[in-house]
Amino acid sequence: MRLLPPLLLAFVAGCATIVGTLQLDDRYGPPDPARFDHPPQPVAGAPDYWQEVRPLLDQRCVSCHACYDSPCQLNLTSYAGLTRGANPKIIYSSVRLIADEPTRLGFDALTNAGWREKGFHPVLNEREQTPEANRDGGVMYRMLALKQSHPGPDRGPLTNPDLDFALDRDQTCARAENFDDYAGKHPERGMPFGLPPLTRAEHQTLARWLEAGAPYTPPAPLPADVLAQVADWEGFLNGDSLREQLVARYIYEHWYIGQLHFAAAPGRYFQLVRSRTPPGRPIDLIATRRPYDDPGVPRVYYRLRYTEATQVEKTFMPLQLDPARMERVRQWFFAAAYPVDALPGYLPAQASNPFATFRALPVEARYRFMLDDAQFTMMGFMKGPVCRGQVALNVINDLFWVAFVAPDSSETRMATRLIDSDIINLQLPAEHESTAGLLAWRDYSKLEKRYLETKSRLIGELKKSDLPQVSDLWDGDGQNPNAALTVFRHFDNASVTRGYVGERPQTMLVIGYPLFERMHYLLLAGYDVYGNIGHQLATRLYMDFLRMEGELNFLAFLPLKDRQPVLDFWYRGRKEQTDRYFTDAAAYFPRETGIHYRTGDHLGELYRAVAQRMAPLRAPALDWKKTGLTPAEVDQMRRLSKIHGIPASVMPEMSLLLLRRPGERLQIVSLVRNSAHSNVSQMFDEEERRLPKEDTLLALDGVVGAYPNAFFAVDPEKLPEFVDAVARLGDEAGLVKLTDRFGIRRTDPRFWPLSDAVHAEWRRTAPREAAILDYSRLENR
């Protein structure tokens, strides 16, 4: 059989779409993109959006359709995302030569007509409003109906080759006009894709709502005390003095990514945005690529905009606003007297360099502001737009600890001198905005080298009493658990948790203010997910420098003779000839440590000393205390955490182990595989650098990570058998057998009830952290 060439196929598909459009227009009239800009009011007998429809969308749809990596950009976390519709253009692209125009929901267009101009097509019927038209002209209705007609198997793995679960798969974004052709070619691609169908009752709820025209009512009004707190914070962030304006800009550029909330309204969230209008007037949004781009107005106002979007774990970064936080910010930035003689501008070369932009603000104030919620800041690197994709994340190890230099240490005082004398060498790749040359990263390599030369010279001037001691690490002032963080990389995504997990990490970073700030502006504030390949390459390679700088900061706590062997072990087989400050530990920090070691295992002793310093902040659950498990079950969890080598390497990156006793609550345990590599200094050929015999497995209470790869449901009395089976794993066939016995596959009728139980239990035990998990990485075995 002779295949048609791609151009001819595209032509045929285009003709089919045109014919389909004419047929729908003849039957139901032309589409009106503005139809849902003023949503239809509730219809008698139709399901209620907030009570019946929104919960179903959250439980069955949002787990795949949220954020930048939503298939076809269809974001179902809000009504605005549903009415915006779908777009076949892929956001995450490593081959773009020119930056794309952004398509951020809630920012880059505020009407559905505006989204149509940006290439989005509707998934709701925008033609004549009748039940028949809403069925025939609605992609969402027809996708759900297709799944009901072709539900797929109810056991075993999915074997249909038309069901591709790869993240980089080719997208086919069906339109109402060509849906018959789509359904004929892909009958098993109904929604939910590659998962069990909705129950009949669930399907009827959504079908009746769609037939009624997708009616909507605004969310319930916010409580009066919340509105009062919003007014207080907007007043605080919009003072008229130059110092108040500069501090507000600094806060905005660090908090804009978060979901801000108040204790009086759990589950209701706000975004910090820039507006042309002051508090007390409707927000006139200023939408720019980056938070520090030129707003185009003489005066910016910082406003709290309510968002009704459902929160998803892969982007959820909650931050509570309260009087205590406001008072801390006041003390840091306003208690001391210092001048702010002029406000900085927004030219990219300056605005992308926070050390130049905020030079007038005290370094200690900025650093304490970031430390106060260090997990929030680190989560921005993991949950922001840079986070998605293996090439973006293979710049970090699978398991590492993070500690921070104390704000009152000699290191921080040296950092202040360093920033004042070396601002020009602290420029970041984002000064090239979103379209950078492929070799732009070389310029930043030279700048980093000059910065490290200056830093090394200042290190050489330290007094003996200022040489590194474990007491130089911030201990959270005895009460802030953000002082000790563990970062997990799960191949193409990552997560961060408070406290040190595991007995010994793969590596460790010690971060001071200049490094922390550069990470934020490199990976979050200055990163553009719509940027070109040069921008992405420069960001990734510059992060190499920052990671290695953090690692060398940690190695400075070791005796001088131990540093190079540890560094060489961390970078076994490194091919690139990196600057000597990164390959020669003595060149970076040429002085001896200030620590007197008592054992022969200096690295192990250092890890234990750091962990001991942070012990008062450690959550009991990290040691399986107060988790609800029996002593025998805790023993099994510890057995799981001792599994290493090939058995650990066969396990999924991140899986959820679910224990349920009849009549009792579900117990959720995260099983995290930590993949070992000879080094993480190369962008490609990761498999060649894998060291599966050094892999480890960790069992952790609760949910860690946003993208589970597998579910295992185990009766508590069978837990020892499950652990035995994991410990015996040797290959893929063994994992298939483990899944046969304990797994909940994509096809399993128990999948959705179990998913509901997981989310309900997570909300019960961690109400401020729980959000919707993403199922796009679920394995199919």
SS3 574: coil
Pairing of strands 494-498, 666-674: unpaired
CB-CB neighbours of 241 under 10 Å: 10
- CA atoms within 13 Å, Cβ hemisphere of 349: 3
Comparing CA positions, the residue from 757, 750, 479, 446 lying closest to residue 618 is 479
**Each residue of 246-298: pLDDT tens digit?**
999 999 999 999 999 999 999 999 999 999 999 999 999 999 999 999 999 99
CA-CA-CA-CA torsion sign (243, 248, 251, 252): negative
pLDDT at position 150:
97
Checking if the pLDDT of 10 tops 70, the result is no
Q: Does pLDDT of 322 surpass 80?
A: yes
What is the structure's pLDDT at 450?
Answer: 84
The three-class DSSP label of residue 401 is strand
CB 363 within 8 A of CB 515: no
Measured CA angle at 396 (ends 392, 400), to 5 deg:
150
112-124: average pLDDT: 97
- 3-state DSSP percent of the chain in helix, strand and coil, to 5: 45, 10, 45
Q: What is the pLDDT of residues 147-203, one digit of tens each?
A: 999 999 999 999 999 999 988 888 899 999 999 999 999 999 999 999 999 999 999
Look at residue 9 in the predicted model and tell me its pLDDT: 42
Q: Is residue 387 over pLDDT 60?
A: no
Kindly state the helix (H) or strand (E) to which residue 421 belongs, with its residue range.
helix 410-421
pLDDT beyond 70 at 12: no
Residue 389 has pLDDT above 70, yes or no: no
Q: Per-residue pLDDT averaged across 394-406, rounded?
A: 90
pLDDT at 8: 47
Residue 316: CB partners within 8 Å, gap ≥ 6? 259, 383, 769, 771
Share of the chain above pLDDT 90, in %: 74
Confidence class for position 687, pLDDT limits 50, 70, 90: confident
- Stated as kind and residue range, the H or E segment containing 320 is strand 318-320
Given a cut of 80, is residue 391 above it in pLDDT? no
Lowest mean pLDDT among 54-58, 229-233, 410-414: 410-414
Q: What is the pLDDT of residue 54?
A: 98
Give the per-residue pLDDT at 191.
97
> pLDDT value at position 500?
97
pTM: 0.94
Check: CB of residue 753 under 8 Å from CB of residue 721: no
Q: Highest-confidence range of 21-25, 65-69, 564-568, by mean pLDDT?
A: 564-568
Ramachandran region of residue 280, left (φ > 0), alpha (ψ -120 to 50) or beta?
A: left
C-alpha to C-alpha distance for 723 and 729, rounded to whole angstroms = 10
Q: Is the pLDDT of residue 536 over 50?
A: yes
Number of H helices, E strands in the chain: 29, 12
Answer yes or no: is pLDDT of 605 > 60. Answer: yes
Mean pLDDT of 308-316: 95
**pLDDT tens digits for range 734-775:** 999 999 999 999 999 999 999 999 999 999 999 999 999 999
The mean of the pLDDT values for the chain is 91
Residue 465 has pLDDT above 90, yes or no: no
